[in-house]
Amino acid sequence: MMLTQPTLLLDKAKCLANIERMATKAKNANVLFRPHFKTHQSAEVGSWFRDYEVECITVSSVKMAVYFANNGWTDITIAFPANILEWSTINKLAGRINLNIVVESIETIQALEKQLSNPVGIYIKTDTGYGRTGVNAENYETMQMLLSKLKTCKNLIFIGFLCHAGHTYNTISNDEVGQIMESSRQQLLALKTFMANDFPLIQLSYGDTPSCSQFDNFEGFDEIRPGNFAFYDNMQAHLGSCHLNDIAVAMACPVVAKHAERLEIIIHGGAVHFSKDQISINGKPQFGTVIKLDGLNWDTNHKIGHIAKLSQEHGIIKVPTDQFEQINIGDMLAILPVHSCLTSNLMGEYLTTEGKRISML
Amino acid sequence: MMLTQPTLLLDKAKCLANIERMATKAKNANVLFRPHFKTHQSAEVGSWFRDYEVECITVSSVKMAVYFANNGWTDITIAFPANILEWSTINKLAGRINLNIVVESIETIQALEKQLSNPVGIYIKTDTGYGRTGVNAENYETMQMLLSKLKTCKNLIFIGFLCHAGHTYNTISNDEVGQIMESSRQQLLALKTFMANDFPLIQLSYGDTPSCSQFDNFEGFDEIRPGNFAFYDNMQAHLGSCHLNDIAVAMACPVVAKHAERLEIIIHGGAVHFSKDQISINGKPQFGTVIKLDGLNWDTNHKIGHIAKLSQEHGIIKVPTDQFEQINIGDMLAILPVHSCLTSNLMGEYLTTEGKRISML
């Protein structure tokens, strides 16, 4: 197959190996594996998880929940603060599948209790230090108030506490990731103990790819919800969650210009393909690692350079002198993206390294 | 119409006013107005330009050129370095419409001359200081070499020099934008004069929304190619190219959580809706200006705050104390995006403030 335009390649073998590794970890730790499907947003990629006994999944929007429900998934958690304006869709979905949603305020609980006629599982979104959203894990007063209210709600079935330790993305060492995971665990366990008299069956749901990739002690948690691990990306390699060779997606991009005087290569591949997430190496932003592309395959031993700048359609690649001469206008290069979730979301389609097109939401 | 999810609103009246202002400017300056359609990527929005006598357009990819050709546009410039791998589509398109492409290397010229059987207009991509791509405007040696080669090419019809002065986006004052525009003009005119003996009919094509918005002296240029002006955005307002009230698009996003202790509002509206382009105010990033939404309309006098952080689906809004209490979970807020081109590209659809859905490429 001849590639001519920016194309998102997916190496199924690498993806399956990533899924298997995480599924095995979860199994060994005796926790439920509820992978986050926002990374791939694809019914077909989702179906690959079935071979590893995955039956429960996580998504990040009501729309995504509907898509996966329509594709045969019957146990879904929407791990995003419930949007009460979407109550009608939530209610219909809760009538068809086991649906869990996430709440963090009395206003949301009151609105949903009034509107929903089908039972829905409820997690309290719990903030263990990330500071994005959720009730502070140590704010027992608010937690008790929310739980007391939930006790009176016919269709809102309290299940437990859900946290996303997203501050693992701001770390500079595995140790730091481990400390965040441990601190989150202790906060959630203390909360569970505090509430145990009134709620003896509280479940603890923990997510984030760096923790779940770098560690395997999931003691205390009932389920894990990593997502990005299925593909991984440059960010995760940078954080020490994977090797470059584990990254299952690469953007194939055509070379359209060369600038010898500044050792730069211009590709068709910009913010509309990659998004603008970046990692910082020696204080300079990088938007992707550039690898030689061989047909539809890439070998991370053949690193060419990195994307130093992105505009809407252009990518500017910095390459060392010895690589520059070997790259020609009209070549296709493979780029390991910084954030595979956003790249997939933009591209809307995968081409497997075996040449099969796979659609997305 | 009741909005429940992140929705990209388009105020047609503001958009028409923006188009009319630029069309009038171009007419008064006696230059061809060849607007860049990468901003809206929509056949319907494109059709609005017809009322202002626009017949020639600019796009940034072959795919976009095919889309607009299929929607009745017959004079299109693809203002991106020609990708020789797409020669077959370029050739077919050149057989149907007046197609101009952009080249900057002998390799691309040689490859296209071999492959194309239909005549195509050729601009040399010229770098007047942005430093992204193109031949340096003062590199007469390379220019002469490319033009000599083009003279021998049957189907590559040399038209002129095309530049995008994208460094206007890095400025901190209108004066600086003006200096960049003036410097670009002088470089292009000098180049034209140098080549005038051999090529008496050279056309100069100039693009970029900051210059074309902030100034109206287009002397020396034959055409202008601004794009973003049709919608404008927070970035352009920040650069002084427009007022907040000229911005024709706003994302409507639902409030899903509130954090009183840090005066933060969480919306469903993240990197998958806005992209991650940012402006820096007092050294801190902002990802959008938040305005009160009244039905499908917004009034920039009712400013609420700004987006301080984005993750995949979450937006974190900072608001002053007096605004905080007036915003409720379940409210929809209007966000003026930092980069309307990337926001449109992500959303894939507009809803006009009159309630009409408009599709995109």
- The 10s digit of each residue's pLDDT in A90-144 is 999 999 999 999 999 999 999 999 999 999 999 999 999 999 999 999 999 999 9
Residues of B in contact with A82 (CB under 8 A): 256
Contact B331/A at CB under 8 A: no
Chain B nearest CA to A161, separation (Å):
16
Q: At what angle do helices B87-96 and B62-70 cross, to 10 degrees?
A: 30
Of A80, A84, A105, the CB nearest to B313: A80
Contact B114/A at CB under 8 A: no
- The 10s digit of each residue's pLDDT in A131-181 is 999 999 999 999 999 999 999 999 999 999 999 999 999 998 999 999 999
Residues of A in contact with B316 (CB under 8 A): 132-133
Contact A275/B at CB under 8 A: yes
- The 10s digit of each residue's pLDDT in A240-261 is 999 999 999 999 999 999 999 9
**Confidence band (pLDDT; 50, 70, 90) for B19?**
very high
Biggest CA–CA distance in chain A, Å, is: 71
A69: Cβ–Cβ under 8 A, 6 or more apart, which residues? A76, A93, A96, A97
Q: With a cut of 90, say whether residue B1 has pLDDT above it.
A: no
Q: With a cut of 90, say whether residue B203 has pLDDT above it.
A: yes
pLDDT on residue A181: 97
List all residues of chain B from 67 to 106 with a beta carbon under 8 Å from chain A: 80-86, 89, 104-105
Contact A269/B at CB under 8 A: no
Mean pLDDT across B68-82: 98
A152: Cβ–Cβ under 8 A, 6 or more apart, which residues? none
**Residue of chain B whose alpha carbon sits nearest to that of A38:** B312
What share of chain B in percent tops pLDDT 70?
100
Mean pLDDT across B171-191: 96
Whether residues A62 and B5 touch (CB distance < 8 A) is answered with yes
**Residue of chain B whose alpha carbon sits nearest to that of A308:** B132
**Residue of chain A whose alpha carbon sits nearest to that of B167:** A311
What share of chain A in percent tops pLDDT 70?
100
Contact A29/B at CB under 8 A: no
Q: With a cut of 90, say whether residue A1 has pLDDT above it.
A: no
- The 10s digit of each residue's pLDDT in B274-308 is 999 999 999 999 999 999 999 999 999 999 999 99
Whether residues B108 and A329 touch (CB distance < 8 A) is answered with yes
Which amino acid, one-letter code, is at B335? I
Query: B90 φ, ψ to 5°?
Result: -60, -45
List all residues of chain B from 131 to 160 with a beta carbon under 8 Å from chain A: 131-134
Nearest Cα to B56, choosing from B83, B26, B15? B26
B44 membership: H or E segment, kind and range = helix B43-48
Contact B111/A at CB under 8 A: yes
In this structure, the strands spanning A7-10 and A249-259 are antiparallel
Chain A nearest CA to B326, separation (Å):
14
- The 10s digit of each residue's pLDDT in B312-345 is 999 999 999 999 999 999 999 999 999 999 999 9
Of B108, B254, B258, the CB nearest to A105: B258
Whether residues A268 and B80 touch (CB distance < 8 A) is answered with yes
| Dihedral (Cα; B100, B103, B108, B111), 10-degree rounding | 20
Contact B172/A at CB under 8 A: no
pLDDT on residue B346: 97
| Contact pairs from chain A to chain B, CB under 8 Å | 150
Range scoring the smallest mean pLDDT among A23-27, A122-126, A194-198, B57-61: A194-198
pLDDT on residue B310: 96
Query: A191 φ, ψ to 5°?
Result: -65, -45
Of A84, A256, A277, the CB nearest to B329: A84
In this structure, the strands spanning B284-286 and A249-259 are unpaired
Nearest Cα to A102, choosing from A156, A56, A27, A152? A156
Whether residues B83 and A268 touch (CB distance < 8 A) is answered with yes
Of A107, A311, A328, the CB nearest to B329: A107
ipTM: 0.95
Whether residues A312 and B341 touch (CB distance < 8 A) is answered with yes
State the best of B89, B125, B136, B268 to mutate against chain A, taking most chain A CBs within 10 Å: B268
In this structure, the strands spanning B156-164 and B203-207 are parallel
Residues of B in contact with A314 (CB under 8 A): 80, 132-133
Q: Rounded to whole angstroms, how far apart are CA atoms B110 and A33?
A: 55
Residues of B in contact with A84 (CB under 8 A): 329-330
Of A89, A133, A341, the CB nearest to B257: A133
Q: DSSP letters along A22-60, please? A: HHHHHHHHT-EE--BTTTT--HHHHHHGGGGT---EEES
Whether residues B276 and A272 touch (CB distance < 8 A) is answered with no
Of B4, B111, B266, the CB nearest to A133: B266
Q: What domains can you pick out in chain A, each with its CATH number? A: 31-225 (3.20.20.10), 244-359 (2.40.37.20)
In this structure, the strands spanning A284-286 and A288-294 are unpaired
**Confidence band (pLDDT; 50, 70, 90) for B183?**
very high
Residues of A in contact with B86 (CB under 8 A): 4-5, 254
- The 10s digit of each residue's pLDDT in A40-76 is 999 999 999 999 999 999 999 999 999 999 999 999 9
Residues of A in contact with B164 (CB under 8 A): none
